[in-house]
A and B are shown apart, each in its own frame.
Chain A
């Protein structure tokens, strides 16, 4: 698999999920056990949720809903696919899905970085509040719905209604966008945005120069729906 040598190996085929999460909650920055490996997740829900310690958790296999939910400070790497709401409401730290992610990836995240090597489904980054999300494949419909802040960077295409009712989240898509949602518009990609992209991609482990930043298009809020106006009634 990889060259990671764990301090603790946890096999979910033989130990209950409850024990794993409880043990993870008991670790702190001072613990010796900094590197964890989880075997046989077999699509279980709520794997490695609510961690608040600078540990690394590598999960060998597919996970169900809400893996790494509300993560703080930890790095959680999923060597497989992730179900609905991976890294939901993440506060800080790093979550990587080596396969594909289901819908609502990174939903309501306040901080940290989520990287999806494959595709993410519908509502990727819904209600995002500061998280950065990098998807190397494509994303589904209604992504970044009501996105408040943070950035969503997509190497592939975006589905329908991207950025509907967007607040201040920044969206970058390299491929095509099937349609934009209400109040989301294409915006000019200036140098400051390229610098932001370069910085986020570097954090995501993308080799500098391997992606041509000028291929991205930027999308953001037109800010027309920020205060109600009767002439915008069609958009409500």
Chain B
């Protein structure tokens, strides 16, 4: 509304500010325009960007009159974890429960994979291959390497299988439960194409179902085969995206898994449809308790270990995940950030790509200024695997120290002694999902009835 008046602005009619619709917000409008112009769904990397109930909605109850804390730095708070001692002859021993999640060579540069191996090895934790197979760089630099067994079976071979320290059968990922992999032509370099036995430069979509088994009964036989091939030495993990955690975890245990990996919807991906990332799956906060319940109902809690992932950033997140009953956690996105992903150092280049440091998520295009999610040799050369590995090691140490700080404050001599009783929730939603009381009350929605 414009109302010009000869008497000047003092007498102008008051105007309402331009108001954006909460439903048709600017991002939604831009997406409609983008879809109309291109005819293809939006593809990106990373995890959910919307706000979800998360570990931030939980707080710890430190020691007080009725419990006593442990001295920081003086009294021991253990962090080590053993994974896969149900059936495997050679279980995995880690010094910290923070592991590196599976991320493919192809999605990441060879330098980035090497840096992940270096960083993880310095602090005594494991790293994981991904869709596309095992590279000599990451095997060489990873003290403990988990080899993923994915539906695509790109690069899958018995030689690497025997070189692995554990095998992870991937059924799904939190970012896209029910979806397969995606690596677009820009990233199918000669080396990636050769490892995957594909023509160079094509848009590669990995299958979403395994080619030679379907369902938990078949999986049991598949696991038996993998154990026979590797002489029952290696722990076998089963990874699922969080959707129906109670049943999925129970069935994975029944199928013979040594370790179950549960990835919440915040979990990152190298590339998939935005609609998948934002609309399918459940937050990790809501998935841990049902998973632990399944393990407890089967008498398998702490016997089959539970690794959880999806949006884990700090030692506090680690401590909360463990307090809810997990044995270890895995990180993807945070590890990439520690290497240098989305670093403000490259701000000018992010701007040239139409984005800004911290928001860059077009990882599928392979033009990552930080040289991490790319196969471009010049960009990839920007990442020094030794220095980046050191940064990751520092960050992993900080997470471990933070988790110990919290555990000591709660009087625990091992991170695994943290328990749900150490937690309260800030919101009714988080209280219901995590099964802990709303702060200041004894109310666990759905549990105690209450007021």
Of A123, A149, A227, the contact of B211 (CB 8 Å cutoff)? A123
The answer to whether A21 touches B198, judged by C-beta atoms less than 8 angstroms apart, is no
Chain A residues within an 8 Å CB radius of B224: 45-46
Chain A residues within an 8 Å CB radius of B39: 230, 233
A168 to B203, alpha carbons, bound, how many Å?
14
Could you list 29 examples of A-B contacts with CB < 8 Å? A17-B228, A18-B232, A45-B221, A45-B224, A49-B229, A65-B213, A65-B222, A66-B212, A66-B222, A69-B225, A70-B157, A89-B157, A91-B158, A103-B212, A104-B211, A104-B212, A107-B212, A108-B153, A123-B211, A126-B211, A126-B212, A127-B207, A130-B197, A148-B196, A149-B197, A167-B202, A226-B202, A227-B203, A230-B39
Nearest Cβ on chain A to B414's Cβ, whole angstroms: 35
In the complex, per-residue mask of A82-104: 1 if CB is within 8 Å of any chain B CB, else 0 = 00110011010000000000011
Q: B residues touching A (Cβ–Cβ < 8 Å)?
A: 38-40, 152-153, 156-158, 161, 185, 196-199, 201-203, 207, 211-213, 218, 221-222, 224-225, 228-232
Query: A228 on the interface (CB 8 Å rule)?
Result: yes
Of A65, A66, A130, A226, the contact of B203 (CB 8 Å cutoff)? A226
The residues in A between 67 and 90 inclusive whose CB is less than 8 angstroms from any CB of B are 69-70, 72, 84-85, 88-89
The answer to whether B156 touches A108, judged by C-beta atoms less than 8 angstroms apart, is yes
The answer to whether A230 touches B38, judged by C-beta atoms less than 8 angstroms apart, is yes
> With A49-B225, A66-B221, A127-B152 in contact, do A226 and B199 touch (Cβ < 8 Å)?
yes
Query: A50 on the interface (CB 8 Å rule)?
Result: yes
**How many A-B contacts at CB < 8 Å in the complex?**
99
Chain A residues within an 8 Å CB radius of B161: 70
Query: A141 on the interface (CB 8 Å rule)?
Result: no
Query: A52 on the interface (CB 8 Å rule)?
Result: yes
Closest 8 CB pairs of A and B: A50-B229, A230-B39, A85-B212, A104-B212, A108-B153, A226-B202, A46-B225, A70-B158
A107 to B209, alpha carbons, bound, how many Å?
13
The residues in A between 185 and 222 inclusive whose CB is less than 8 angstroms from any CB of B are none
Chain B residues within an 8 Å CB radius of A45: 221, 224-225
Query: A110 on the interface (CB 8 Å rule)?
Result: yes
> With A17-B228, A45-B224, A123-B211 in contact, do A50 and B158 touch (Cβ < 8 Å)?
yes
Nearest opposing residue in chain B for A26, CB measure: B231
Nearest opposing residue in chain B for A84, CB measure: B212
Nearest Cβ on chain B to A155's Cβ, whole angstroms: 23
Query: A22 on the interface (CB 8 Å rule)?
Result: yes
Nearest opposing residue in chain B for A69, CB measure: B225
> With A227-B202, A228-B40 in contact, do A46 and B232 touch (Cβ < 8 Å)?
no
Query: A129 on the interface (CB 8 Å rule)?
Result: yes
Nearest Cβ on chain A to B180's Cβ, whole angstroms: 10
> With A46-B225, A129-B197 in contact, do A88 and B212 touch (Cβ < 8 Å)?
yes
Nearest opposing residue in chain B for A227, CB measure: B203
Query: A146 on the interface (CB 8 Å rule)?
Result: yes
> With A66-B225, A91-B158, A228-B203 in contact, do A148 and B212 touch (Cβ < 8 Å)?
no
Nearest opposing residue in chain B for A70, CB measure: B158
A22 to B212, alpha carbons, bound, how many Å?
24
A167 to B196, alpha carbons, bound, how many Å?
12
In the complex, per-residue mask of A119-139: 1 if CB is within 8 Å of any chain B CB, else 0 = 000010011011000000000
Query: A181 on the interface (CB 8 Å rule)?
Result: no
Nearest Cβ on chain B to A67's Cβ, whole angstroms: 9
Of B197, B198, B203, B218, the contact of A84 (CB 8 Å cutoff)? B218
Chain A residues within an 8 Å CB radius of B203: 226-228
